[in-house]
Homo-oligomer: A and B are copies of this chain.
Amino acid sequence: MQSRAFLFTAIATAVLASGPVAAAEFEPAAIKAQIARQHDGMVKRLQEWIGQAAIAAENRGYPEGAEHMARLLREVGFQHVARIDTDGKPGVFAMLDAGAPKTVGLYFMYDVKQFDAKEWTSPPLEAALVDRPGLGRVIIGRGAVNQKGPQMAVLAAIDAIRGAGGKLPVNLVLVAEGEEEIGSPHIHQIVQRPEVQAALAKCVGVFMPQAGQDLSGLVTVSLGAKGIIECELVASGLAWGRGPTRDIHSSFKAMVDSPAWRLVQALATLVSADGNTPAIDGFADKARALSAEEKSMIAVAARRRNEAQYKALFGVRRWIDDLPFPQALERLESQPTVNIEGLVAGYTGPGGKTILPHQAVAKLDLRLVPDMTAKEALAALKAHLAKRGFGDIQVTMTGGYDPTSTPASARLIQAQIAVLKRAGIEPMLWPRTAGSYPGYIFTGAPLKLASGHFGLGHGSGAHAPDEYYLIDSVNPKLQGLDGATMSFVEYFFELAK
């Protein structure tokens, strides 16, 4: 971020007439100096946080992950910090009362995705600082970019305003959960508590911090997110009444049915022959086509984004159907999906093992676009299987939620656009993130808040090996930790207007 971008002054005069305290003043130079002073300490805090992994799918790091989250919040000045237990993993609810007229909601997650350390070039919990050509010094670790790095930048922003002798210009209400990576199955038990609802009801909106810059430095302002269902399909000899109820010698395949083949044949009906279009009866009936405005957003983004960079990032040579980039992006935005996350049956080790497995499992995720709902999509999947005689295949939804949308006109979004423009970045509006987050809990009834993502900075490898977050940038287009921190400072002051 170029420093000139942050030299704006108007806010300093916007003193609240009737507040109990003097309005916060924005002193960018002092805050930036403070951010620089606290840099090393923040990196160390981020490293410690990455070292404390909480992984819901593995029941690892609880309640330590929640306690760590709570401690970080207390350290930067949240006056009220409470662990909220659920039927799953605990959440954290926190409030920072700055005596400001406006209140902003923050959605954090303290859990991270599973990892296989063997696949990493640097141990995923060691959070090593590594030089990356063309980027600068990055921190490599599970959760680095998703979401501990960006979240730490928010905490650094709060700390820096205070450390520079200033005052946070907005009050904060923060909800953190520890099950985002398994589809937020208990977030309603946190957010729907009366005290949390009451606090959130005062907010101008809720945002989730992110490292929003792609390799070109571009930032996308997303107006929502796809919904998701994560589920397991289990074919078993026991439920089927055919096939074995334990693994048996494979020679008996000639007289014994196979749950693994049953799963394969059932799966094959869920998508088109090329695996790309959902074929679940009724699944996409309510999928809303892109509007002209949305198509226009995508066309702009397609021109500005670097297709080659995206292909390199994914290790992809061709998009589906050899589509040109703009059409591939339209597909990304408009199409619901049925994806295989994992397959596991019988023997999965090296070489072979002559068994007929008694059970086979597919882990699927289904992404939903407006106006599909998670409930209807799950029902469609079950009905599809039952209709084809696969009713014995057990479908267990492990997490998921509806898609979510926020209008571009919302203050939360307009403030993002203003900050980005002042930073010299022409933001790209984007219909929705193809990934998912439980924004529905804020945008749906009764709160009906705006919800979105914001943050400068850069990282990649969410859910993959060698996940990283850029700490010290050598690339003028990309902000490191300090630039990301400053972007949150700017955003708070903008939202305070």
Q: List 12 A-B contacts (CB under 8 A).
A: A57-B352, A232-B352, A242-B317, A245-B315, A254-B331, A254-B332, A254-B334, A257-B320, A264-B264, A339-B356, A342-B346, A342-B357
Question: Which among B251, B258, B267, B331 is the interface contact of A433 at CB below 8 angstroms?
Answer: B251
Q: Does A248 contact B (CB under 8 A)?
A: yes
Q: Is A21 positioned at the interface, with any CB of B under 8 Å from its CB?
A: no
A246 to B336, CA, bound (A): 22
Q: CB distance A436 to B349 under 8 Å?
A: no
B348 touches A348 (CB 8 A): yes
Count of A interface residues, CB-CB < 8 Å: 98
Pick from B56, B244, B365, B465: contact of A354, CB under 8 Å: B365
CB < 8 Å neighbour of A230 from B343, B345, B352: B352
Interface: A8 (CB within 8 A):
no
In the complex the two chains form, is A244's CB within 8 Å of B316's CB? Answer: yes
A360 to B258: give the CA distance in the assembly, Å: 19
Assess whether B248 is in contact with A339, with CB atoms less than 8 Å apart: no
User: Could you mark each residue 150-182 of chain A with 1 if its beta carbon is under 8 Å from any beta carbon of chain B, else 0?
Assistant: 000000000000000000000000000000011
Q: Is A273 an interface residue (CB 8 A)?
A: yes
CA distance A464 to B252 in the complex (A): 13
Q: Please, which residues of chain B bring their CB within 8 A of the CB of A328? A: 255
Q: Within residues 310 to 363 of chain A, which ones have a CB less than 8 A from any CB in chain B?
A: 314-320, 323, 328-329, 331-358, 360, 363
Q: Is the CB of B344 within 8 A of A255?
A: no
Whether, in the assembled complex, A122 has its beta carbon less than 8 Å from a beta carbon of chain B, the answer is no
Q: Report the bound CA distance from A265 to B276 in whole Å.
A: 11
A226, CB-defined interface residue at 8 Å: yes
| Contacts of A222-244 to chain B: CB distance below 8 A | 226, 228, 230-232, 237, 241-244
In this assembly, does A275 line the interface, its C-beta being within 8 Å of a C-beta of chain B? yes
Pick the residue among B316, B355, B433 that contacts A243 (CB under 8 A). Answer: B316
Determine if A351 and B398 form an interchain contact, defined as CB atoms under 8 angstroms apart: yes
Count chain B CB atoms within 10 A of each CB in A181, A251, A265, A347 and give the residue with the most.
Answer: A251
Tell which of B230, B268, B348 touches A342, judged by Cβ atoms closer than 8 Å: B348
| A436 neighbours in B (Cβ, 8 Å) | 251, 354
- Distance from A44 Cβ to chain B, minimum over Cβ atoms (Å): 29
Nearest residue, chain B, Cβ from A352: B230
CB distance from A334 to the nearest CB of B (A): 8
Say whether B335 contacts A353, CB under 8 Å.
no
Please tell me if A183 contacts chain B, counting CB pairs below 8 Å: yes
CB distance from A420 to the nearest CB of B (A): 23
Q: Which residues of B contact A56 (CB under 8 A)?
A: 351
Chain B positions within 8 Å of A348 at CB level: 342-344, 348, 363
CB-defined contacts of A226 to chain B, threshold 8 Å: 251
User: Would A435 and B256 count as touching, CB distance under 8 A?
Assistant: no
* The 10 A-B residue pairs with the shortest CB-CB distance in the complex, in nearest-first order: A261-B275, A57-B351, A245-B315, A260-B340, A251-B434, A342-B346, A342-B347, A268-B268, A344-B348, A251-B435
The reply on A45 being an interface residue by CB < 8 A is: no
Tell me the bound Cα distance from A231 to B354 in angstroms: 11
| Interface status of A250 (Cβ within 8 A of chain B) | yes
CA distance A329 to B318 in the complex (A): 50
Is A316 a contact of B346 with CB atoms below 8 Å?
Answer: no
CB-contacts of A257-283 with B (<8 A): 257-258, 260-265, 267-268, 271, 273-276
Q: Which residues of B contact A288 (CB under 8 A)?
A: none
Question: Are A316 and B256 touching (Cβ within 8 A)?
Answer: yes
CB contact list, A441-492 vs B, under 8 A:
462-465
Determine whether A285 belongs to the interface, using a CB cutoff of 8 Å to chain B. Answer: no
A316 touches which of B114, B237, B267 (Cβ 8 Å) = B237
Q: Which residues of the partner chain B approach A286 to less than 8 Å between Cβ atoms? A: none
A295 near B: Cβ within 8 Å? Answer: no
B350 touches A58 (CB 8 A): yes
B339 touches A258 (CB 8 A): yes
* B251 and A276 contacting across the interface, CB-CB below 8 Å: no
A339 to B252, CA, bound (A): 9
Interface string of A379-404 (1 = CB under 8 A from B): 00000000000000000001100000
Closest partner residue, chain B, to A388 (CB atom): B273
Does A342 lie within 8 Å of B353, measured CB to CB? Answer: yes
Kindly state whether residue A249 has any CB partner on chain B within 8 Å.
Answer: yes
> Which of chain B's residues have a CB closer than 8 A to the CB of A252?
314, 332, 434
